[in-house]
């Protein structure tokens, strides 16, 4: 099974000039873990939740010079308001790792696991084709192996 068979074909995108407040709102409301950054038809980066969170934490240099310790987590949380006033271009990754729409889904999943990604852009010749999540891969494998199987256990309703 190929990536193009299971990917999201029209993913939500942002531009380098998009404010982070809009991006983090999308992340929180729609549970996006990351979004491709586009300039016209060209993908120029990727912004992920981890990029936002990395900005909250002090660098090793800051910790050594300021003596920040475990008790300073409240101050780190307060920095969030400063971070969301930035633009995507201030935090986005520009060395974007992608997978091909023609790759086998397990080859794409291997790339995702190796880089600790939950979501990855699907591109061909630098042109964004879609997005793939580990959930997409898992669902496809489940359906391919368990659909119509007598060994599949039906889901159990919890909390009813």
| pLDDT tops 80 at residue 20 | yes
Lowest mean pLDDT among 17-21, 27-31, 33-37, 69-73: 69-73
Does the pTM exceed 0.85? no
Q: Which CATH architecture has domain 3-144?
A: Roll (3.10)
Lowest mean pLDDT among 50-54, 56-60, 117-121, 140-144: 56-60
Buried b (16+ CB within 10 A) or exposed e, 54-70: ebeeeeeeeeeeeebee
Model pLDDT, residue 4: 98
Model pLDDT, residue 149: 61
| pLDDT tops 90 at residue 152 | no
Concatenate the DSSP letters of all residues of 76-125 into one string: HHHTHHHHTTSBHHHH-BSS---B-TTSBHHHHHHHHHHTT-SEEEEEET
Residues 14-23 have a mean pLDDT of 97
- The band of 102, judged by pLDDT with boundaries at 50, 70 and 90, is very high
Q: For residue 109, what are the CA distances in angstroms to 18, 62, 136?
A: 29, 36, 10
Domain ranges of the chain: 3-144
- The band of 69, judged by pLDDT with boundaries at 50, 70 and 90, is low
Q: Give strand pairing partners of 130.
A: 122
């Amino acid at each position: 099974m190929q990536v193009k068979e299971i990917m999201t074909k029209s993913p939500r995108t942002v531009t380098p000039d998009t404010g982070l407040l809009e991006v983090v709102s999308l992340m929180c409301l729609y549970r996006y873990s990351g979004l491709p950054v586009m300039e016209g038809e060209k993908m120029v980066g990727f912004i992920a939740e981890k990029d936002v969170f990395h900005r909250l934490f002090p660098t090793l240099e800051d910790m050594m010079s300021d003596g920040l310790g475990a008790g300073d987590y409240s101050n780190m949380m307060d920095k969030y308001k400063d971070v969301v006033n930035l633009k995507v271009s201030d935090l986005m990754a520009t060395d974007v790792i992608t997978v091909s729409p023609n790759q086998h889904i397990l080859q794409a999943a291997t790339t995702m696991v190796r880089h600790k990604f939950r979501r990855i852009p699907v591109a061909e010749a630098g042109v964004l084709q879609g997005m793939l999540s580990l959930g997409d891969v898992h669902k496809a494998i489940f359906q391919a192996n368990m659909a119509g199987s007598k060994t599949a256990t039906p889901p159990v309703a919890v909390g009813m």
